[in-house]
Amino acid sequence: MEGTPVRHPLRRRRRPLLAAALCLVVAMAGIGPAAARPSADRGGNSEAEPEAKAKAETESETKTKTKTKVKPKQKGTAAGQFRNPVNTGPDPALVTHEGHYYIATTQGDALRIWRSPSIATLLTAEPHEVWRDSDPSRNRQIWAPGLYKATVDGAEHWYLYYTASDGNDSAHRMYVLESEGSDPLGPYHFKAKVADSGNDRWAIDGEPFEHDGKLYFAWSGERDDGVRNQLFLAPMANPWTLGGSRVHLPVDGNCPEVREGPTPIRNKDGRLFLTYSACDTGKPDYAVWSKSLPPGANPLDPAAWTQEPGPLFSRNDAAGVWGPGHHFFFTSPDGTEDWIAYHAKNTSAYTYDWRTTRAQRIGWTADGRPDLGVPVALGTPVDLPAGDPGPGTTALNDTDPQVTYTGNWNSGSQCGAQCFHGDDHWSEEAGATATIRFNGTRLALLSVKDTGNGIAAVSVDGGAEQRVDFHGSTRVGEQLQWVSPRLEPGEHTVTVRVTGEKNPESGAAFVSVDRAEVYP
């Protein structure tokens, strides 16, 4: 184990990110010279990374990684493109099944799954609440869902693993639901607590994996000496029952305090890679590491595992991506591509807030190791997975001709990688407006939240206004702020009006316009 284990490290506080946020909140954050904005805004804020030095360092580090690059799709084969994020929550589990994507993320109070025929429309998909528990011992702090499909007694079921407590972190244990049929949306019923009956200790982030035809379970738990956030393995008698005692699996990491979120991926030769996240997830250095196991080896023998050099996936300061991890691997709808879903933040601040789920394609090195590449910036166009029906979405920037302004607005590029195309518009003048013209059926607004942001009024096609608070406890860019209702195909307008009002927590009343995602 690298470093000295920390006893009972500060555990991440995964705050609920309720689905209602998808339909309510609009974009905000002032971006401008220090003279025009409160001190918490752009100028001098350490969260305004990355600057030239950080970019140069990151580019230098990237050049030293001799990885095999993923081959781009042949021209004309992509059904379209999308931009991250694909969900506003952290700790994703994302699968493809019978022509749809399904994603579950940490929600805190319940288990919810989003379904969409295209990854491009996951962000605006409606949530399905598949489980809300009445048992007070396990109906709070519900974290880290995991989806696993298995056939039991000739019937196909989905097993939804999760971590929950009574509201006290020390009570966290792992549980699993079973679907009534083969639909990932359920309905589900409670199946079991997943625990080592002879050593029932604090446990989180459990996920099953198969090796040589046998089923095992991996999770992050507490050692006998009280040190938490360590990796453990155990055999499984079935998808809801451990079939033997747990084994501690020592692993390396770039920080000493946390080893969590184990998730498997296997290469074409059958070598198993148990990837995991290291470091406190609130830190910008949260990253993905791995140990590997050859075919025929015993997973319950720690000596059979090989520590892979790491990290495999880590912060990308130049792109404004910090703390990438707690991931899940999935395949494209046609089964030909490997992808990673992961959460990350668009701020380098030490915070558990603002973690959003992103997705990108991965590759393999010449010697058969997973090549996760580097996390791409929010707003970067990504080709849809192979077999995704598309057509994808398009984006409008705040400087595009389709966006017009009345009143006094400032604009600039001081927000760097936190903003789409490195720029945005902002205003505090009551009555100032920004109107976006688009051709489609829906529009989502993404922009910076900030401590100096206020309340806007948003309307569609000149209709009734909806008040949206752009304030955030930390400045962080390209957050989903508001989603329009579904509209008839054709030309529409969305108008953002500055009200000059703010909530009591905000230091100013700025409203900003950055990225508009247009759905055809």
The set of catalytic residues is: 91, 260
**Is the C-alpha dihedral spanning 213, 219, 224, 229 positive or negative?**
positive
140-175 as b/e, with b when 16 or more CB fall inside 10 Å? bbbbbbbbbebeeeeeebbbbbbbbbeeeeeebbbb
Distance CA 362, CA 374 (A): 9
CA distance 26 to 183: 33
Both tokens of residue 502? 């703010």
Q: Phi and psi dihedrals of 306, rounded to 5?
A: -110, 130
Residue 463 burial class via C-beta count within 10 angstroms: exposed 0-12, middle 13-18, buried 19 and up? exposed
B/e letters for 193-214, b = 16+ CB within 10 Å, e = fewer, are bbbbeeeebbbbbbbbbebeee
Q: For residue 482, give the nearest of 473, 491, 500, 494 by alpha carbon.
A: 494
Which of 222, 218, 308, 226 lies closest to 263 in space, CA to CA?
218
Q: Phi, psi at residue 515, to the nearest 5°?
A: -110, 135
296: left (phi over 0), alpha (psi -120 to 50) or beta: left
**What 3-state DSSP class applies to 302?**
helix
Tokens found for residue 125: 């998909």
CA dist., res. 148 & res. 178, Å (int): 10
What type of residue is 386?
A: A
Structure tokens at 198: 């002879």
Strands in 122-227 per DSSP E: 127-131, 140-152, 155-165, 173-179, 188-194, 203-211, 214-221
- How far apart, in Å, do the first and last CA atoms of the chain sit? 51
Distances 66 to 285, 377, 497 between C-alpha atoms, Å:
21, 21, 49
For residue 453, give the DSSP letter: B
What are residue 420's phi and psi, to 5 degrees?
-65, 125
Residue in the block written with tokens 């033997």: 244
Q: What is the largest CA-CA distance in the chain?
A: 70
